[in-house]
Amino acid sequence: MEDKSDDMKRLFEPKSVLVVGASREETKIGYKVIRNMVYAGYNGLVFPVNPKGGEVLGYPIYTSIDEIEVGDEGIDMGIIIVPAKFVYQAIESCARKKVKHNLIISSGFSEIGNNKEETRIVRFARENGMRVLGPNMFGIYSRNAPINCTFGVKDVNPGEVAIITQSGAIGLSMMGRTVVENIGLSAIAAVGNKADLDEADLLQYLMYDDNTRVVLMYIEGIKNGDRFVEALEGTTKVKPVIIIKSGRSKRGAMAAASHTGSLAGEDNVFDDIMRQCGVLRADTINEALSWCKFISHNPLPRGENSVIVTNGGGVGVLCTDACEKYNIQLYDDAQTLREVFTPVTPELGSVKNPIDITGQAMSGAYSEALDAALSCDGIDTVFALYCEKEGFSEQEFSKMIKDNYDKFQKTDKVISFSIFGGEVVDHCLKGLGKMKIPVYGDVYDAVSPVGAVYSYYRYLKNCGGVKVDIDLNFDSIDKIVADVKKQDRFFLLAHEAQKIMNIAGIKIPETRIASSLKDAVQSAEEIGYPVVMKVVSKDIIHKSDAGGIALDLINESEVADAYEAIMKNCRAKVPNALIEGVEVAEMVQEGTEFIVGAKIDKSFGPIVMVGLGGIYVEVMKDVAFRAFPLKQKDVVSMIQQIRSYPLLLGVRGEERKDIEALVDSIIKLGSIIYRCHGISDIEVNPVLVYEQGMGVKALDVRILLSRD
Amino acid sequence: MEDKSDDMKRLFEPKSVLVVGASREETKIGYKVIRNMVYAGYNGLVFPVNPKGGEVLGYPIYTSIDEIEVGDEGIDMGIIIVPAKFVYQAIESCARKKVKHNLIISSGFSEIGNNKEETRIVRFARENGMRVLGPNMFGIYSRNAPINCTFGVKDVNPGEVAIITQSGAIGLSMMGRTVVENIGLSAIAAVGNKADLDEADLLQYLMYDDNTRVVLMYIEGIKNGDRFVEALEGTTKVKPVIIIKSGRSKRGAMAAASHTGSLAGEDNVFDDIMRQCGVLRADTINEALSWCKFISHNPLPRGENSVIVTNGGGVGVLCTDACEKYNIQLYDDAQTLREVFTPVTPELGSVKNPIDITGQAMSGAYSEALDAALSCDGIDTVFALYCEKEGFSEQEFSKMIKDNYDKFQKTDKVISFSIFGGEVVDHCLKGLGKMKIPVYGDVYDAVSPVGAVYSYYRYLKNCGGVKVDIDLNFDSIDKIVADVKKQDRFFLLAHEAQKIMNIAGIKIPETRIASSLKDAVQSAEEIGYPVVMKVVSKDIIHKSDAGGIALDLINESEVADAYEAIMKNCRAKVPNALIEGVEVAEMVQEGTEFIVGAKIDKSFGPIVMVGLGGIYVEVMKDVAFRAFPLKQKDVVSMIQQIRSYPLLLGVRGEERKDIEALVDSIIKLGSIIYRCHGISDIEVNPVLVYEQGMGVKALDVRILLSRD
Quote the ipTM score.
0.92
Q: Do residue A176 and residue B422 have CB atoms under 8 angstroms apart? A: yes
Find the mean pLDDT for residues B23-32. Answer: 94
Contact B192, B135 (CB under 8 A): yes
How many other CB atoms are there within 10 angstroms of residue A185's CB atom?
Answer: 27
Q: Give contacts of A177 with chain B, Cβ < 8 Å.
A: 420-422
Find the mean pLDDT for residues B72-85. Answer: 95
Share of chain B above pLDDT 90, in %: 79
pLDDT digits (tens, 9 = 90+) for A576-633: 889 989 999 998 988 999 999 999 998 999 999 999 988 788 888 899 999 999 999 9
Q: Do residue B387 and residue A170 have CB atoms under 8 angstroms apart? A: yes
Find the mean pLDDT for residues A376-393. Answer: 91
Gap between the Cα atoms of B400 and A347, Å rounded: 57
Q: Give contacts of B27 with chain A, Cβ < 8 Å.
A: 390-391
Contact B611, B685 (CB under 8 A): no
The rounded mean pLDDT for chain A is 93
- Residue A264: predicted pLDDT: 46
Find the mean pLDDT for residues B323-342. Answer: 96
Residue B324, classified by CB atoms within 10 Å of its CB into exposed (0-12), middle (13-18) or buried (19+), is middle
pLDDT confidence bin for A77, thresholds 50/70/90? very high
Gap between the Cα atoms of A464 and A460, Å rounded: 8
- Min CA distance, B61 vs chain A (Å)? 24
Gap between the Cα atoms of A390 and A204, Å rounded: 54
A–B interface: beta-carbon pairs under 8 A: 256
Q: Do residue B173 and residue A387 have CB atoms under 8 angstroms apart? A: yes
* Predicted confidence (pLDDT) at residue A382 exceeds the cutoff of 90: yes
Question: HEC string of A571-606?
Answer: HHHCCCCCCCEEEEEECCCCCEEEEEEEEEECCCEE
Q: Is A248 on the interface with B (CB under 8 A)?
A: yes
**What are the φ/ψ torsions at residue A372 (nearest 5 degrees)?**
-60, -45
- Long-range contacts from B404-410, C-beta under 8 angstroms, 24+ separation: B404/B367, B404/B370, B404/B371, B404/B374, B405/B437, B405/B438, B407/B370, B407/B371, B407/B374, B408/B370, B408/B374, B408/B382, B409/B298, B409/B299
Contact B217, B299 (CB under 8 A): no
Q: Do residue B422 and residue A180 have CB atoms under 8 angstroms apart? A: yes
- Min CA distance, A222 vs chain B (Å)? 15
Q: Which of residues 538-567 of B touch A (CB under 8 A)?
A: none
Element (H or E) spanning A389, and its range?
Answer: none
- Residue B260: predicted pLDDT: 53
Residue of B nearest to A359 (CA): B169
Q: Which residues contact A140 (CB under 8 A, 6 or more apart)?
A: A11, A12, A103, A133, A147, A148, A149, A150, A187, A188, A189, A190
Listing DSSP states for B436-452 in one string gives: T--EESSHHHHHHHHHH
Q: Do residue B620 and residue A620 have CB atoms under 8 angstroms apart? A: yes
Find the mean pLDDT for residues A536-561. Answer: 85
Q: Do residue B173 and residue A220 have CB atoms under 8 angstroms apart? A: no
Gap between the Cα atoms of A69 and A15, Å rounded: 15
Exposure string over B433-445, b if 16+ CB within 10 A, otherwise e? beebbbbbbbbbb
Q: Which residue has the higher pLDDT, B122 or B620?
A: B122
Residue of A nearest to B221 (CA): A314
Q: Do residue A314 and residue B220 have CB atoms under 8 angstroms apart? A: yes
Gap between the Cα atoms of B402 and A136, Å rounded: 33
Listing DSSP states for A215-257 in one string gives: EEEEES--SSHHHHHHHHHHHHTTS-EEEEES--SHHHHHHHH
Q: Do residue B176 and residue A320 have CB atoms under 8 angstroms apart? A: no
- Residue B259: predicted pLDDT: 57
Q: Give contacts of A252 with chain B, Cβ < 8 Å.
A: 317-318, 320-321, 324
Gap between the Cα atoms of A578 and A571, Å rounded: 9
Share of chain A above pLDDT 90, in %: 79
- Residue B410: predicted pLDDT: 94
**What are the φ/ψ torsions at residue A345 (nearest 5 degrees)?**
-120, 130
Gap between the Cα atoms of A155 and A161, Å rounded: 15
Residues paired with residue B417 on neighbouring β-strands, in sequence order? B384, B439
Q: Furthest-apart CA pair in chain A: how many Å?
A: 104
State the best of A243, A320, A323 to mutate against chain B, taking most chain B CBs within 10 Å.
A320
Q: Which residue has the higher pLDDT, A256 or A671?
A: A671
* Predicted confidence (pLDDT) at residue A247 exceeds the cutoff of 90: no
pLDDT confidence bin for B617, thresholds 50/70/90? confident
| Cis omega (within 30 of 0) for bond into B135 | yes
Of A176, A255, A284, nearest to B442 by CB-CB distance is A284
| Three-point CA angle B600, B601, B606, nearest 5° | 45
Q: Is B643 on the interface with A (CB under 8 A)?
A: yes
The rounded mean pLDDT for chain B is 93
Of B169, B286, B317, nearest to A359 by CB-CB distance is B169
Find the mean pLDDT for residues B264-292. Answer: 92
**What are the φ/ψ torsions at residue A340 (nearest 5 degrees)?**
-75, -40
- Min CA distance, B2 vs chain A (Å)? 32
Residue of B nearest to A622 (CA): B620
Q: Do residue B651 and residue A218 have CB atoms under 8 angstroms apart? A: no
pLDDT digits (tens, 9 = 90+) for B539-558: 888 787 788 888 888 889 88
Contact B157, B185 (CB under 8 A): yes
pLDDT digits (tens, 9 = 90+) for A506-519: 999 988 889 999 99
- Residue A258: predicted pLDDT: 64
Residue B27's alpha-carbon distances to A230, A685, B24, B30, in angstroms, are 63, 72, 9, 9
Question: HEC string of B501-569?
Answer: HHHHCCCCCCEEEECCHHHHHHHHHHHCCCEEEEEECCCCCCCCCCCCEEEEECCHHHHHHHHHHHHHH
* Predicted confidence (pLDDT) at residue A259 exceeds the cutoff of 60: no
Q: Do residue B284 and residue A251 have CB atoms under 8 angstroms apart? A: no
* Predicted confidence (pLDDT) at residue B35 exceeds the cutoff of 90: yes
pLDDT confidence bin for B264, thresholds 50/70/90? very low
Gap between the Cα atoms of A106 and A80, Å rounded: 7
- Min CA distance, B180 vs chain A (Å)? 6
How many other CB atoms are there within 10 angstroms of residue A593's CB atom?
Answer: 19
**What are the φ/ψ torsions at residue B411 (nearest 5 degrees)?**
-105, -165
* Predicted confidence (pLDDT) at residue A263 exceeds the cutoff of 60: no
* Predicted confidence (pLDDT) at residue A544 exceeds the cutoff of 90: no
Gap between the Cα atoms of B21 and B30, Å rounded: 6
Residue of A nearest to B441 (CA): A286
Share of chain B above pLDDT 70, in %: 98
Q: Give contacts of A425 with chain B, Cβ < 8 Å.
A: 173, 176
What sections of B574-698 are H helices per DSSP? 616-620, 632-641, 645-649, 659-675
- Residue A634: predicted pLDDT: 97
Contact A679, A480 (CB under 8 A): no
Q: Give contacts of B330 with chain A, Cβ < 8 Å.
A: 251
- Residue B253: predicted pLDDT: 79
Q: Which amino acid is at B205?
A: Y
* Predicted confidence (pLDDT) at residue A2 exceeds the cutoff of 50: no
Residue of A nearest to B249 (CA): A321
State the best of A25, A157, A173, A440 to mutate against chain B, taking most chain B CBs within 10 Å.
A173
Q: Do residue A324 and residue B251 have CB atoms under 8 angstroms apart? A: yes
Q: Is A646 on the interface with B (CB under 8 A)?
A: yes
Q: Which residues contact B655 (CB under 8 A, 6 or more apart)?
A: B691, B692
* Predicted confidence (pLDDT) at residue A285 exceeds the cutoff of 60: yes
Gap between the Cα atoms of A23 and A679, Å rounded: 54
Q: Do residue A172 and residue B389 have CB atoms under 8 angstroms apart? A: yes
3-class DSSP state of B51: coil
3-class DSSP state of A344: helix
- Residue B257: predicted pLDDT: 67
- Min CA distance, A644 vs chain B (Å)? 6
Exposure string over B402-428, b if 16+ CB within 10 A, otherwise e? eebbeebeeeebbbbbbbbbbebbbeb
- Min CA distance, B155 vs chain A (Å)? 11
CA dihedral A89, A91, A93, A98 (to 10 degrees): -170
Residue B535's alpha-carbon distances to B560, B566, B685, in angstroms, are 14, 7, 25
Q: Which residues contact A321 (CB under 8 A, 6 or more apart)?
A: B246, B247, B248, B249, B252
How many other CB atoms are there within 10 angstroms of residue A43's CB atom?
Answer: 11
Q: Do residue A250 and residue B324 have CB atoms under 8 angstroms apart? A: yes
Q: Do residue B180 and residue A283 have CB atoms under 8 angstroms apart? A: no
Nearest one of B258, B256, B213, B259 to B238, comparing CA atoms: B213
3-class DSSP state of B268: helix
Q: Do residue A246 and residue B317 have CB atoms under 8 angstroms apart? A: yes
pLDDT confidence bin for A550, thresholds 50/70/90? confident
Gap between the Cα atoms of A129 and A133, Å rounded: 14
Residue of B nearest to A327 (CA): B249
Residue of B nearest to A332 (CA): B251
Q: Which of residues 431-470 of B touch A (CB under 8 A)?
A: 441-445
Find the mean pLDDT for residues A442-459. Answer: 97
Can you state the percent helix, strand and coil of chain A, rounding each to 5? Answer: 40, 20, 35
How many other CB atoms are there within 10 angstroms of residue B41's CB atom?
Answer: 10
Find the mean pLDDT for residues A127-131. Answer: 96
In angstroms, how far is CA B506 from the centroid of its own chain?
30
